[in-house]
Structure 1
Amino acid sequence: MRKNSIKNTRINGEVQKELSRIISREIKDPRISPMTSVVAVEVAPDLKQCKAYISVLGDKDAQDATLAGLKSAIGFIRRELARTVNLRNTPEIHFVLDQSIEYGVNMSKLIDDVVRSDEGKEHEGEEDNE
């Protein structure tokens, strides 16, 4: 059992690396945002299915357009994957939008805003003491 999970982890990493390369360098669809990254990949142990979690930095329209572009290029993506990754079966790929990077960017911005407003209040307090 343990050996299988190590093998599966290696396959996930290999497929993720290749999907990232294919999406960023090989696909010429203008709908696909240049700010698209493959966050994680889960390949089923039987190698028939694959969930690819992608993150698209941008608004809802950019995310929807990127998903549509990826879905229309699915045949090309699978052929490229079959050519570059040596697997018994080339999995059927399902793209899932992952909001975690965008969520992190938004949280970081909110934290920066709070820190800036706190610093502004500190400076106001120092002026009152003078």
Structure 2
Amino acid sequence: MKRSNTSGPSQRQLRVAEEIRHALADIFLRTEFHDAMLAKVHLTISEVRMSPDLKHAMVFCTQLGNKDVTPLLPSLKRVSPFLRSQIAPRLGLRVTPELKFLPDEALEEATKINKLLHTPEVLRDLEK
């Protein structure tokens, strides 16, 4: 029986994504990286999204203090094989997913929407 693609991620995708998020958060907390860009950075892994075949993971991260994480993306790509080797035993999957790091822009979007909702034009329309 084939699943339709219109419903969200499967329960397994969600479970594996959450395990990867916890593992990466633990690794970033306890590991000292030799890469100068990652040495003294505090990253927050906000979300992980898995592909349906569990071979690819999109890792959304932010830097503590609302700093831009974009300059760190090349360094994160370089340490990705090391991170995969560290999370592999924790997952117990046949194939450890490829990790693709992306900046998490959800907070910025929420801030923009909040500012928009507090503009005089919107407040005037809400009062009607």
Amino acid paired to 1:99 = E
Amino acid paired to 2:104 = D
Unaligned residue ranges in structure 2 (runs of 5+):
116-128
Per-residue CA shift, 1:63-84, capped at 9, x if unaligned?
2332122111011001001122
SS state at 2:25 partner? helix
SS state at 2:36 partner? coil
Residue 24 in 1 paired to residue 29 in 2?
yes
Q: Is the 8 A contact 2:13 2:54 kept in 1?
A: no
Q: Is the 8 A contact 2:54 2:97 kept in 1?
A: yes
SS state at 1:93 partner? strand
Residue 124 of structure 1 corresponds to: none
Aligned residues: 106
Report runs of 4+ in structure 1 exceeding 3 Å deviation. Answer: 57-60, 101-108
Aligned counterpart in structure 1 of residue 44 of structure 2, from 22, 26, 37: 37
Distance 1:94 1:47 in 2: 13
Amino acid paired to 1:37 = T
Task: Note closer, same or farther for the CA distance 1:24–1:106 as it changes in structure 2 (3 Å cut).
Answer: farther
Structure with greater helix share of residues: 1
Unaligned residue ranges in structure 1 (runs of 5+):
111-130
Per-residue CA shift, 1:72-122, capped at 9, x if unaligned?
1011001001122211210111111112345667999x8xxxxxxxxxxxx
Residue 10 of structure 2 corresponds to: 5
Same amino acid, percent of matched pairs: 25
Supply the RMSD in Å over aligned alpha carbons: 2.8
Distance 2:32 2:109 in 1: 26
What TM-score, normalized by structure 2, do the two folds share? 0.67
Residue 48 of structure 1 corresponds to: 55
- After superposition, where does 1:42-121 map in structure 2 within 5 Å? 42-56=49-63, 57-60=65-68, 63-101=69-107
Distance 1:55 1:107 in 2: 19
Please say which structure displays the higher CA radius of gyration. Answer: 1
Amino acid paired to 1:13 = E
SS state at 2:37 partner? coil
